């Protein structure tokens, strides 16, 4: 039985379950041109009624890692943005706290730091708009939201080049896995204007963002999702060749594949303070969750 028929069987019997994992490696090793599997230390936690995905590192020390994630609850079929505190010694979950909850689904809590302020731009495409929040370290919440774009934006990331902020994303108004959209603004908080040529790229293997930008050897690299064989199947790393108003070019340089424990997907990568965080997909056997989900369609 090949991996595709096994996956089909596991999909029918189980339910999708993402988790986050950590890679102790240099940025150069992670972004180097190759297709390979990285040694991942997966988060140890007790939950089966939810999953954690879309991780972004808030802070890392020798002892702990603080990560913002999508915390998806099966009973609500909706995600919140949560702060996870993880031991760097054994990668066990120490604490979790909800930092943002709304009526609509939240995910992809992208972090952007400027000066002394930390901003978070979570995806909230179901609301029809994109907002930027300030992160309050004392109360550990997201506050002071400002609307950046009035559109159902998916997986937004930002890079600043020559005094302009460029926002890359996909959208529910387009093919969210295939059509890359770019916006620009003179201010981080907006307003943002769309590129005239949107979508600037149409490629199911490397359009949708799967993480932020990284500067290595004076070159910018972007993490992208490869959904050719299924949603969030793996990551492609792209080298940005040109980014300016109404122009964008990049080329794929490497591919990062899932590992054997979470073998069906890897669609987010973030790197900070000498450690990398990713997420991975497997299926778990929870027949009652499957039944409840099917019954919900008849309500």
What DSSP assignment string belongs to 35-65? EEE---EEPB---SSEEEEEEEEEEE-SSEE
pLDDT at 120: 99
Q: For the chain, what percent of residues have pLDDT higher than 90?
A: 85
The long-range contacts involving 212-219, CB below 8 angstroms and separated by at least 24 positions, are 212/56, 212/110, 212/111, 212/157, 212/158, 212/159, 212/270, 213/157, 213/159, 213/240, 214/27, 214/31, 214/271, 216/27, 216/28, 216/31
User: Residue 143 pLDDT more than 80?
Assistant: yes
Cβ–Cβ under 8 Å, residues 249 and 234: no
Which of residues 292 and 1 earns the better pLDDT score?
A: 292
pLDDT single digits (tens) 89-102: 999 999 999 999 99
pLDDT single digits (tens) 22-38: 999 999 988 887 766 77
User: Residue 294 pLDDT more than 70?
Assistant: no
Which of the four CATH numbers 2.115.10.20, 1.10.357.10, 2.102.10.10, 3.40.50.720 does domain 3-296 have?
A: 2.115.10.20
pLDDT at 64: 98
Task: Read off the tokens for 66.
Answer: 């603080």
Task: Read off the tokens for 290.
Answer: 């499957």
pLDDT at 290: 67
pLDDT classification of 299: cutoffs 50, 70, 90: low
pLDDT at 285: 83
pLDDT single digits (tens) 275-284: 999 999 999 9
**Stretch 206-219: mean pLDDT, rounded?**
96
pLDDT classification of 293: cutoffs 50, 70, 90: low
What letter would DSSP give residue 125? G
Question: Domain coordinates of the chain in residue numbers?
Answer: 3-296
């Amino acid at each position: 039985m090949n991996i595709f028929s096994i996956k089909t069987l596991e999909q029918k019997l189980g339910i999708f379950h993402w988790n986050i994992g950590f890679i102790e490696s240099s940025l150069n090793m992670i972004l180097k041109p190759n297709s390979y599997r990285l040694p991942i230390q997966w988060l140890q936690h007790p939950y089966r009624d939810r999953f954690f995905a879309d991780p972004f590192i808030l802070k890392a020390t020798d002892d702990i890692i603080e990560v913002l994630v999508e915390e998806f609850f099966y009973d609500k079929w909706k995600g919140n943005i949560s702060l996870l505190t993880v031991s760097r010694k054994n990668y066990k979950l120490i604490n979790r706290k909800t930092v943002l909850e709304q009526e609509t689904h939240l995910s992809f809590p992208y972090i952007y730091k400027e000066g002394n302020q930390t901003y978070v731009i979570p995806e909230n495409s179901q609301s029809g708009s994109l907002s930027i929040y300030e992160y309050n370290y004392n109360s550990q919440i997201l506050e002071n939201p400002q609307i950046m774009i009035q559109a159902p934006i998916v997986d937004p990331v930002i890079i600043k080049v020559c005094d302009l902020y460029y926002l890359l994303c996909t959208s529910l108004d387009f093919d969210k896995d295939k059509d890359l959209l770019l916006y620009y603004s003179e201010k981080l908080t907006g307003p943002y204007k769309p590129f005239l040529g949107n979508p600037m790229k149409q490629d199911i293997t490397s359009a949708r963002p799967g993480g932020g930008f990284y500067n290595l050897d004076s070159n910018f690299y972007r993490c992208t999702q490869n959904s050719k064989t299924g949603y969030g199947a793996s990551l492609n790393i792209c080298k940005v060749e040109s980014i300016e108003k109404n122009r964008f070019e990049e080329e794929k340089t490497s591919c990062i594949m899932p590992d054997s424990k979470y073998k069906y997907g890897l669609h987010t990568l973030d790197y900070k303070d000498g450690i990398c965080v990713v997420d991975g997909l497997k299926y778990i056997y929870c027949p009652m969750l499957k039944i409840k989900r099917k019954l919900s369609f008849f309500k």
